[in-house]
């Protein structure tokens, strides 16, 4: 299978409509690929908190409509990054959308781990509760978003749910590029999956994005990595590689579950 990460430039001067038009054009240009991926919150800007209420939309909103059409026209599975979703109760979520080749929404994941501590996403958005995987014609995809990379238990849950590829749209800041590069390789290696991590570039909300979108295989080898400009990273993946790696180095078989530290006992 062939996968492409579209590392969009997301700048404060862009409108959501302009970004949708540009993203749709780039997706349509990937006809012949199997999977295309966009970054996190690229319509509103992941750090532009003041735009979230204005640009929030439903799962049948303008971004979903445009991305569904782009997936259908290109004949690709499209992970449309994430949007600011407003549910029927008015709660905002950072939600990833996965469309099939016919443009049907097949996966919807609400980000579980919200960044910001006591500000931003952590206070303005609700948190998801569900682990989400989707079966495709080339393998089982697990869904995660940006800050989720710092929480290995989610990725182990995706593994247990059958994931062979995990897609991570992001708006990772340039100041922590080293963490991005380390965590993407680590999550792929420890779960023995393909990991496709699509970051944004540009500056919005005062935050410069790291770029360096990357595709990592189940051995932890980087198969493709972008720089810091708007570009497309494409890699040919053999999903059967996942089963081979898990067979040749069966570390997942040796997991020991239910380990608890004894209360009140310490060892020097």
Phi-psi region of 120 (alpha: psi -120 to 50; beta: other; left: phi over 0): left
Write the CB contacts of 146 (distance below 8 Å, at least 6 apart in sequence): 40, 46, 111, 115, 168, 169, 170, 171, 172
- Catalytic residue list contains 146: yes
83 and 63 Cβ atoms separated by less than 8 Å: yes
Between CA 215 and CA 92 the distance in angstroms is 30
What kind and span of H or E run contains 188?
A: helix 177-191
Indicate which residue of 85, 111, 121, 191 is catalytic.
Answer: 111
- Catalytic residue list contains 111: yes
Q: Name which of 111, 175, 178 is nearest 147 in CA terms.
A: 111
Please, what is the Cα angle at 165 between 160 and 166, to 5 degrees? Answer: 80
As beta bridge partners, residue 134 has 141
Two tokens at 161?
Answer: 């749910």
Residue 122 has a CB neighbour count (10 Å cut-off) of: 14
Please, what is the Cα angle at 265 between 259 and 268, to 5 degrees? Answer: 105
**What number of H helices and E strands is found in the chain?**
7, 14
Indicate which residue of 146, 164, 191, 198 is catalytic.
Answer: 146
- Catalytic residue list contains 248: no
Which three-class secondary structure string do you get for 194-212? EEEEECCECEECCEEECCC
Indicate which residue of 40, 57, 121, 164 is catalytic.
Answer: 40
Residues marked as catalytic: 40, 111, 146
């Amino acid at each position: 299978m062939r996968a492409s990460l579209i590392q969009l430039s997301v700048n404060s001067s862009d409108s959501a409509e302009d970004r949708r038009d540009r993203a749709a054009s780039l997706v349509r240009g990937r006809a012949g690929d199997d999977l295309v991926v966009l970054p996190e919150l690229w319509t509103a800007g992941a750090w532009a908190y003041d735009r979230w209420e204005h640009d929030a939309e439903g799962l049948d909103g303008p971004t979903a409509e445009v991305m569904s059409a782009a997936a259908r026209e290109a004949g690709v599975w499209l992970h449309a990054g994430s949007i600011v979703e407003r549910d029927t109760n008015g709660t905002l979520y950072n939600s990833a959308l996965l469309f099939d080749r016919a443009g049907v929404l097949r996966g919807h994941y609400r980000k579980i781990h919200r960044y910001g501590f006591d500000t931003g996403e952590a206070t303005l958005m609700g948190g998801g509760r569900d682990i989400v995987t989707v079966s495709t014609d080339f393998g089982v995809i697990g869904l995660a978003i940006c800050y989720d990379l710092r929480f290995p238990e989610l990725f182990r849950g995706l593994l247990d749910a059958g994931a062979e590829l995990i897609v991570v749209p992001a708006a990772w800041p340039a100041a922590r590029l080293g963490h991005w590069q380390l965590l993407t390789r680590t999550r792929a290696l420890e779960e023995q999956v393909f990991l496709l991590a699509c970051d944004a570039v540009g500056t919005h909300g005062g935050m410069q994005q790291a770029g360096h979108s990357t595709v990592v295989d189940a051995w932890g080898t980087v198969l493709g990595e972008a720089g810091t400009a708007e570009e497309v990273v494409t890699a040919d993946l053999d999903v059967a590689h996942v089963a081979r790696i898990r067979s040749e180095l069966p570390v997942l078989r040796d997991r020991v579950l239910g380990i608890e530290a004894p209360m009140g006992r310490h060892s020097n």
